Structure 1
């Protein structure tokens, strides 16, 4: 499971079997997990994060979306 970024105690990564889905990033940390679609920055799912953590996660994804998309396309082709 390639890790793309670590920031604010969150790990942003994808799973090697994710290539059949549209580009997205998984987020783990603080006892929670989330999945964010990279094309529009919307949450696909979230569990265990509070609203403040969700806002921070979405901010980090927005700030690093280009890097995350490049990592996705480099890995999955």
Structure 2
């Protein structure tokens, strides 16, 4: 479960055991957790899962994910290369 970014109390990370799911990122802050699909074709994100995510937290994490969109995609690619190539 590598952490790729920590910002404003949010920890963004990937899980290593999720098979062949498309690009996505998990985020956790205190008792809040969420998951966003990353749509590189349309430069968009889609909320896949949210726990204890209020409107303020939802806006904040969406801004963080969008603000680091390219970085997340790059980290995902690197993470997948390491997983499959050792």
TM-score grouping bracket, smaller chain normalisation:
over 0.9
What TM-score comes out, normalization by structure 1 length?
Answer: 0.93
Q: Which residue of structure 2 lines up, in the alignment, with residue 8 of structure 1?
A: 8
TM-score by length of 2: 0.84
1:19 to partner: Cα distance: 4.6
Deviations along 1:46-66, one digit per CA (max 9) or x if unpaired, are 011211001100000000010
**Structure 1 runs of 4+ off > 2 angstroms?**
none
Which structure 2 residues correspond to residues 1-77 of structure 1 after superposition, within 5 A?
1-39=1-39, 40-77=44-81
Unaligned runs of 5+ in 1: none
CA RMSD, 1 decimal: 1.0
Kindly name which structure, 1 or 2, has the bigger radius of gyration based on alpha carbons: 2
Q: Which runs of 5+ in 2 are unaligned?
A: 82-86
* Number of aligned residue pairs: 77
Q: What do residues 18-57 of structure 1 show as CA deviations (whole Å, max 9, x unaligned)? A: 3510000001113111000111211001011211001100
Q: Contact 1:19–1:76 at 8 Å: present in 2 too?
A: no
Distance, in Å, in 2 between the alignment partners of 1:68 and 1:19 is 18
